[in-house]
Structure 1
Amino acid sequence: MLLDEVLSRMTVEVEPFSICEMAPRGWLDMPKSPAASLHYVLSGTGALHLGPSRSHPLKTGDLVLVPAGSSHSIGAEDGRFVSFASCQPARLGLSHHRDGTADEGLGLMVLCASISLGLSGAGTVIDLLREPVIEAAGAEHLIRLILDELAAPGPGSRAQIKALLLYLIIASLRRSVLRQDPGTGWLVALSDRNLWPALAEVIARPGADHSVESLAERVGMSRARFAARFKDTFATSPMHLVRDLRLQHAARLLLEGHHGVARVAELVGFSSRSHFTQAFEARYGISPGRYGRTGGTEESPSGDTADGE
């Protein structure tokens, strides 16, 4: 499958949007999510923070894609943060949040959404995203059209928004691939005919009994050659990626609320509930039971309950 074919088969689903305005010393925390996060900087400058030691500068017109399950924060220009914003997305329509008083001025305005980027017939391929993609989109006219649809929804608004976003995302990903950005190695891998059958198998059935041997056999490679090629492309081992995809699938199942923790662990390929719980907490920072009850956000201490339901 050529890269052109990969891009032409892409589909996008978008979750609720919000606009967050931060004062010059404002800070926006984004919770971990089973979906990838999209941010578009409407105005101002600041930085995307990933953990305590990784940050990337942001400016007006930047489009940001952050992998599912990655906690991250956005800070306005001044590094001495004294106020905090919290974006609560709305359904079709637009929720608007302002942090700071009017006399403080505006430090950063960001459009935020959760997205699922798929490949026709192959599931949610954005789950393969390993590193953030930050691209100077230069697409103010497209964003204005999206904002207009969100501000006054009408018949076809959802389809229009999805079409505009897909155009914007494909254009940004194409530029990133041409620059050979490390964040788009997953996209290049989709066009690798030698790796694609294994990737498609894991995306379609993350809970199956996968192993390096079974995946290598699926693509007709030796175990060593497959593992080396996979590591070169994704900068991680095949089974590490399998585990991450299983946990992302588990997060979705927990949010749907149709199964208890033990059954979810079984469905995503963990033979031990305790091992599943340990792995889930390491990735999402919260136990599976609490994640299902709170949608991935922490409850207040008074709302805590045991994890054995």
Structure 2
Amino acid sequence: MLENTLKDMLINVTSFAVCDIRRGWPLQTPSLGTVSLHYILRGKGSMIDQNHHRTLLNTGSLVICPPDYSLTIDEVAGEPFGINHCTPAHSPHGIRSHTDTTLPGVLILCGLLEVDSLTGGSPFDRLHTPLYFENSNADIQHLFHQLFQELALSTLGATAMLEALMKQCFILLLRELHANAPEHPWLLTLEAPELHNAIEAMTQSRNQRLNIDQLAERCGYLRRSQFSTAFKTNFGDDPDTYRKKLSFTGHGN
């Protein structure tokens, strides 16, 4: 199933920007309604998600943010950035840059993407929390620097090239996630979308756990035996055993 998802994935690049973040002038992303990514080209920052969880970001770190999710990213190494004084600009357009390049900063490649598949729906519709990759591998870093160069050049076919590079990035990222965290809830729902509601319920708070009959009902199964068989066929364990594994690995908290 995951192989078909990758093969049929369609990516439309709606917007890309390079953001220079200084301490005290954070990047704050509202709920954007589409998938966004944030790749650290340079510097060290701190990300706070809408659940108030803080994650340190270094050069090479990547965050893929689900639709309708907000983030705040600030710089953590330098002094608070400010402009000591402002003088009238004398350029033809009245524009002057006051950025002090001697201060530490975080250079972030940010993008808004529309991701869909030929089988219908986006594979990110079931992603509820950001995907975080620390110091992505060399191939992924190379692709993001190619993206940065394409943005800087803005030559013929730039949009098509950006979309092609982004699909390569996503495939490499999913390979990495599948290799290092094969039981990640989001990957599980991609592998067996018909069992999505059960996986989602299993990864919620332990105080809201459902029994097998309730899980089967959420997935549209009339019999718990049919649900358990389908679950074991897809994931190799019965629902109870798998839930224990998720709790042990930290996905059930």
Q: TM-score, normalised by structure 1?
A: 0.55
CA distance in 2, matches of 1:14, 1:6: 18
What amino acid does structure 1 have at the position aligned with 2:195?
L
8 Å Cα contact 1:21-1:108 kept in structure 2: yes
1:16 matched residue in structure 2: 15
1:186 matched residue in structure 2: 186
The offset of 1:76, in angstroms, is 0.9
Taking structure 1 as reference, are residues 198 and 119 closer, same or farther at Cα in structure 2, changes over 3 Å only? farther
Identity of aligned residues (%): 24
The offset of 1:152, in angstroms, is 2.6
Q: Which aligned pairs between 1:208-219 and structure 2 lie closer than 5 A?
A: 216-217=219-220
2:144 matched residue in structure 1: 143
What amino acid does structure 1 have at the position aligned with 2:155?
G
1:175 matched residue in structure 2: 176
SS in structure 2 at match of 1:145: helix
8 Å Cα contact 1:64-1:132 kept in structure 2: yes
What amino acid does structure 1 have at the position aligned with 2:106?
L
Q: Normalized per residue, which structure has more helix?
A: 1
The offset of 1:37, in angstroms, is 1.3
Taking structure 1 as reference, are residues 181 and 100 closer, same or farther at Cα in structure 2, changes over 3 Å only? farther
1:60 matched residue in structure 2: 59
8 Å Cα contact 2:20-2:105 kept in structure 1: yes
**Per-residue displacement from partner, 1:21-74 (whole Å, max 9, x unpaired)?**
122554211111111210111001112111373011111112210111111111
CA distance in 2, matches of 1:142, 1:99: 31
8 Å Cα contact 1:35-1:67 kept in structure 2: yes
SS in structure 1 at match of 2:121: coil
What amino acid does structure 2 have at the position aligned with 1:165?
M
2:113 matched residue in structure 1: 115
The offset of 1:148, in angstroms, is 2.5
**Per-residue displacement from partner, 1:239-288 (whole Å, max 9, x unpaired)?**
xxxxxxxxxxxxxxxxxxxxxxxxxxxxxxxxxxxxxxxxxxxxxxxxxx
Name structure 1 gaps, 5 residues minimum: 84-97, 200-211, 236-309
What amino acid does structure 2 have at the position aligned with 1:39?
H
**Per-residue displacement from partner, 1:119-174 (whole Å, max 9, x unpaired)?**
22222221211121111323332123222222233332212111101111221122
Would you identify which runs of 4 or more consecutive aligned residues in structure 1 move more than 4 Å? 79-83, 196-199, 212-215, 219-226
**Per-residue displacement from partner, 1:178-222 (whole Å, max 9, x unpaired)?**
22277x4223222127527999xxxxxxxxxxxx888633x5655
Q: TM-score, normalised by structure 2?
A: 0.66
Taking structure 1 as reference, are residues 213 and 198 closer, same or farther at Cα in structure 2, changes over 3 Å only? closer
8 Å Cα contact 2:17-2:109 kept in structure 1: yes
2:31 matched residue in structure 1: 32
CA distance in 2, matches of 1:36, 1:44: 23
Q: Which aligned pairs between 1:1-309 and structure 2 lie closer than 5 A?
A: 1=1, 3-51=2-50, 53-78=52-77, 100-103=99-102, 105-135=103-133, 136-137=135-136, 138=138, 139-180=140-181, 184-192=184-192, 194-195=194-195, 216-217=219-220, 222=224
SS in structure 2 at match of 1:165: helix
Name structure 2 gaps, 5 residues minimum: 83-96, 200-214, 229-237, 247-253
1:288 matched residue in structure 2: none
1:280 matched residue in structure 2: none
Taking structure 1 as reference, are residues 5 and 43 closer, same or farther at Cα in structure 2, changes over 3 Å only? same
SS in structure 1 at match of 2:19: strand
- The number of residue pairs the alignment matches comes to 205
Taking structure 1 as reference, are residues 222 and 24 closer, same or farther at Cα in structure 2, changes over 3 Å only? same
CA distance in 2, matches of 1:36, 1:186: 14
Taking structure 1 as reference, are residues 100 and 224 closer, same or farther at Cα in structure 2, changes over 3 Å only? farther
Structure with higher Rg: it is 2
CA distance in 2, matches of 1:110, 1:181: 28
SS in structure 2 at match of 1:39: strand
What amino acid does structure 2 have at the position aligned with 1:46?
G
What amino acid does structure 1 have at the position aligned with 2:3?
D
